[in-house]
Chains A and B, each alone.
Chain A
């Protein structure tokens, strides 16, 4: 126990943070990418058409209904997703009735050409942006429940780190803007503090809401073990109330034209913000058609949905009845996912997500920077724990972004007909990350930082070039057309590549300032020899 409460909090903050820093970094990076998962998926499916000239929603609904009537007349559910700022494609989905012994029926998903109403060419199998998004809470290569518990444990420790950090930070307001760059340890401390404090509301929200996501999983004693199955169902109905329970009458009836219903929604909403249409039992007399516009609120807003029956008549449907706690839960989850966010707010989410990742990374680097002078003086070299942390820092903070870059490259380079192609894309990510985690063990830390930063710069700058070489949807095409959704990905890769180049340049400058330009090679080779000797000694 430390002498003062504040000192105890500092100790707790340091060690709680260190235990989970690399997993948290992984969660922050993949979760932040998840805010743009639709855009990433679109880039990873280059067979999809570029955003076509303005086609009216009325025409797209007409074409979609005709397509679904022809190809999915037996389905029990249709869904039409109209193009929006995030996903410029017209999508149709349908679900068949579940077969005996199965929970869900077969789901099919097609992208239609909005001008002709015909489906576009077969898409390549890819994990897309959704796999990255999914990884941030579901991890990979492990059972679902194990992943949820690991993620929950790390999130809980992050929440403790956030709270203890606020408690022991002495000058939270007076040092609010302070960043003393070029001052070594103080600079790292400042950058960690600044990144933590400027986005503190976000850090708290994202951590707390992350825990709420799987609250029934984590509250085993109070939920799973205390309540019967029927009580659990009742709980779910209260917390996640459904809109309208429709029973199939099994009397066939042709669905009225969706275009007529659409015109009614425009009168009701007074604006043309329709986003998607869901039809339950499309060829039944009891069909229900749900028109949904883009979200206008963080929590559930009843006026965002309009219902019609099979004849195209407006139905009065009571609002979902949320309990106060259910409403709060809904609000926190919506805040976490940012589903209500328009393009600009989504970019803000990306920015604060990256701030979160940088905060976590700076904490890890701060830990080693603080201990480096003492460790350097040790006659037998640095301790194993220190070397391990340093290695994991390099392998995670630079290695993980490189691995994600490899994932994007694999999307373009793996043969389109490869079996389990989507799985192999993800395997490429984890294999490359594993190699990059091991690599720093055989190199002096400063060289490993420099080399991995250079590699990251090359890979991310290479991605748009690779896209140019392997597809017909590259910057020379997407920019003149004005398909910013697609071009934005390539431009973002260039920006990330340039950021890594800048970081590599700064690290190289630091090496030069320490050992002098001429002796840089000899210094690195000496350090490599020393590292190898150290590794041999450790063995």
Chain B
């Protein structure tokens, strides 16, 4: 569960970073164009991986339900962070899998 939640959060953070207006909110420094273009394909790869992992863990019927639930569950804190503490998003995205791994 924790792995799926952190993967979902990182996936959605990457989608967020792929949008210029949100990238400016999260990262102060200007990224070069090549690096900026990297976020969207990375997000898609992560999204497909999360879906696959969820289906492997919970089967091909319950897995997609868990996948959508995890995406929604990660989007709510992400959007709140983006609104009130945007700069904390990269830190949370890095810390979340570490916390899950330790626990």
Contacts and interface: CB of A to CB of B under 8 A. Distances in A.
Given A181-B83, A201-B68, A345-B69, A297 B62 contact: yes
B47 interface: no
Contacts, number: 56
B63 to A, nearest CB: 10
Interface string B63-92: 001101110110110111011100000000
B72 A355 contact: yes
A341 B79 CA distance: 26
A345 B92 CA distance: 22
Interface in A176-233: 176-177, 179-181, 194, 198-199, 201-202
A177 B82 contact: yes
B81 to A, nearest CB: 10
B61 interface: yes
A441 B16 CA distance: 44
A370 B31 CA distance: 39
A416 interface: no
B61 A299 contact: yes
B83 A296 contact: no
28 contacts: A177-B15, A177-B19, A177-B22, A177-B79, A177-B82, A179-B82, A179-B83, A181-B84, A194-B79, A198-B75, A198-B76, A199-B72, A202-B72, A296-B59, A297-B59, A297-B61, A297-B62, A331-B61, A335-B65, A341-B65, A345-B62, A348-B66, A348-B69, A348-B72, A349-B69, A351-B69, A355-B72, A355-B76
Nearest to B13: A177
A174 interface: yes
B4 to A, nearest CB: 9
A176 B11 CA distance: 14
B6 to A, nearest CB: 14
The 5 closest A-B pairs by CB, nearest first: A348-B69, A298-B61, A198-B75, A179-B83, A344-B1
A269 B75 CA distance: 37
A352 interface: yes
A345 B66 contact: yes
Interface string A291-311: 000001111000000000000
A489 interface: no
Interface residues on A, range: 20 to 34
A322 interface: no
Contact of A351 (B1, B65, B76): B76
Interface in A312-363: 331, 335, 340-341, 344-345, 348-349, 351-352, 355
A79 B14 CA distance: 50
B65 A198 contact: no
Interface of A: 174, 176-177, 179-181, 194, 198-199, 201-202, 296-299, 331, 335, 340-341, 344-345, 348-349, 351-352, 355
Contacts of B84: 181
Contacts of B70: 348
Contacts of B19: 174, 177
Nearest to B78: A177
Given A198-B79, A297-B59, A351 B73 contact: yes
B83 A348 contact: no
Contacts of A355: 72, 76
Given A194-B79, A198-B79, A340-B62, A348 B22 contact: no
B22 to A, nearest CB: 6
A246 B70 CA distance: 43
A202 B65 CA distance: 9
Nearest to A347: B73
B27 to A, nearest CB: 15
Contacts of A298: 61-62, 65
A355 B77 CA distance: 12
A352 B69 contact: yes
Nearest to B80: A179
B92 to A, nearest CB: 15
A211 B17 CA distance: 39
A198 B82 contact: no
B18 to A, nearest CB: 10
Among A181, A198, A299, chain B packs the most CB atoms within 10 A around the CB of A198
Contacts of B62: 297-298, 340, 345
Contacts of B66: 345, 348
B101 to A, nearest CB: 18
A195 to B, nearest CB: 9
A245 to B, nearest CB: 28
